[in-house]
Amino acid sequence: MDSLLADESVTRLPMFHTRGPYVSTSRQWLNFFGCLLTIPIYCLFATCSSFPCTLDLLLSIIACEYNRWSIQARRSHFYKSQSLPSSAGDPEKNTNTPTRTAPDCMAVVVGYREDSELFSRALESYRDADGCKFLLIGVDGDNVPDRDMVAVFGRVYPENSAVIHIDEPLADIAMRTYGKLAAADDGDSEIWNEMTIAHCCRLARESLRDHDIVLGQPGGITRLCVYEPHLHKRGIMFTSFIFSIVISDILGIEFLWSSDSDSIVFPDSLRQTISVIAADPNAGGASSGLIVHNTNHSIWTRFGRAVYWYELYLARCPPTLSGTHDCQTGPSAVIRVAALPGILYRWYAQTILGTRMIVNEDRHLTTCLLMRGWTIKYAADTLAATETPPTFTGWIMQQVRWARATHIETFQQPRLYTINNPIFFWSALKREIGPLVVAASVFFYLFTGRAVAYFSIYDVLYRIICTTLYNWIRNPDRGPRHSWAWVLPTLIFCTIPMPAIQIWGLLTVLDGGWGTAMRAGVESSKRHEFWTRWYNMGFLVLWMGVVGATTCRLVANLAGWSQTGLYQALVFGAILPSLASFWALVVKG
């Protein structure tokens, strides 16, 4: 403990106090009243228009175009500020041609028992990644299957590379250190946080020195793999971020690219994303758009590819009207290194009602940055490639996990809405209320036979047509082949389960399970027990019964069936979809 307290001088480094701008109290009150005003406006927007779905789409398109314009403006401003004559020192060449460069960065890729071929492809993609000065791989686990990932790293990068084994996860050391500091001192938790991170950084420096790793010199190490005993993804991310802080300090790197072991980058992914925030000192992070690289694996990955093309691009843009974004996606996030020390321990130690959270790592990292005054940008015109689950059950469990993270980050920090534009709250309100309203409308019609709100098939049709046309014209992802043919199946695949997913995610918000299994052979051979499958998918079985019964009631009402015929339709409409989905999702898995 004395040695930790002796390190306090280290914690006073400016990097621990780097944060975004403070929001004045008057501005916070103004934002608060703006949020209150947003609620009745949203209700009027949803109930008083004959075409609410189409109107919502138009607002999303405006947000997308504004975001595209703003990121291009930031890039242009940055490149102008960084332009140098390409013929410096040679008066015979044209000195008016600028040389445009964005800052170099280091990349962090973390994973656990990843498929060897996919992991190799992911690592290979960084060879051609423009601006990647240093690559750090974090492997969660040190058993034989985990060391396969280390071996893949060695095969892909046999030169200028090194491997470090950590005997104890730095996240465990951080928790223990923080606990000791809190027990020994009645001081400020901010100081405990700084001292904890400084202690972990010192251990990382000592580890680099003990392994004789030379950085920043000709012939020095430019690729490093760190592996430690199995904890979880947030644990290996913590260790990787600690090493990143240290390495970035040594190499003078300002930005960090963070990704997963199943994600592939394109040559311009890193630089294009970094250039969005490089000229904005208030921007703490950014993320790029995503496409799916395993489209041809199964019919479900084809649906996933179409969902990313049809829904994701438009869905992610509305918060950007507020000047920031609410989520950096895990496969394609950029973070300003100076912003990490001040948030890293709180990010790792997140609890909800006394329960440790380990799976909503990307959304909570964004929340922590926003709470420190940083803004988050979305480089919608830049792409990276990720993997989507190859089975329907895998897709549903992934969506449930994302829904839980969304609910947590939406409600955990109410102050977040007072330090951001009310449009930020509008986006969160629409995201949370929309699926619940749909579910309530379905149940209301099922039990009463009456619609709870105005509904127009033309409204839905206009939205589908306009969404498809806009994606064809403006989406940087050119979409699946014959993308028009995937629109209706995609809507069925994505839209029907979504209300149930959101409700189940809210009811099980404290569930810490990852949901989807790792892809390495050892993990994929494990079979879930029946009750585990029922817990994971039973809610969808029940929901399909509700949807089936509601559909039958609609048909019965339109056909003018008798009361007896109506009851028979409801029974069969509920039982048949439930049995089919029970067999497919629970029994077969």
pLDDT in tens, the chain (589 residues): 445 444 443 444 556 678 888 999 999 999 999 999 999 988 888 777 788 889 999 999 999 999 999 999 988 888 887 764 433 334 343 434 444 566 889 999 999 999 999 999 999 999 999 999 999 999 999 998 899 999 999 999 999 999 999 999 999 999 999 998 888 876 778 888 888 999 999 999 999 999 999 898 888 899 999 999 999 999 999 999 999 999 999 999 999 999 999 999 999 999 999 999 998 899 999 999 999 999 999 999 999 999 999 988 899 999 999 989 988 998 999 999 999 999 999 999 998 888 888 888 899 999 999 999 999 999 999 999 999 999 999 999 999 999 999 999 999 889 999 999 999 999 999 889 888 888 998 898 888 888 877 778 899 899 999 999 999 999 999 888 777 788 888 888 888 999 999 999 999 988 865 544 444 444 444 445 777 888 888 899 899 888 888 888 888 887 877 777 777 777 777 787 787 777 777 766 6
DSSP output for 233-261? HHHHHHHHHHHHHHHHHHHT--EEEEEET
SS3 336: strand
- Which residues in 375-501 belong to E strands, given as ranges? 375-386
- Tell which residue, 453, 332, 353, 349, has the closest CA to residue 407: 353
Instruction: Kindly list the domain boundaries of the chain, sorted by start residue.
Output: 22-79+263-325+347-499, 106-253, 523-588
SS3 154: helix
Give the Cα separation of 87 and 76 in Å (integer). Answer: 21
CB 341, CB 197: distance < 8 Å: yes
SS3 337: helix
CB 574, CB 447: distance < 8 Å: no
Give the Cα separation of 409 and 109 in Å (integer). Answer: 24
Q: Residue 69 burial (CB < 10 Å; 0-12/13-18/19+)?
A: exposed
- Tell which residue, 103, 161, 159, 100, has the closest CA to residue 132: 103
Give the Cα separation of 269 and 335 in Å (integer). Answer: 14
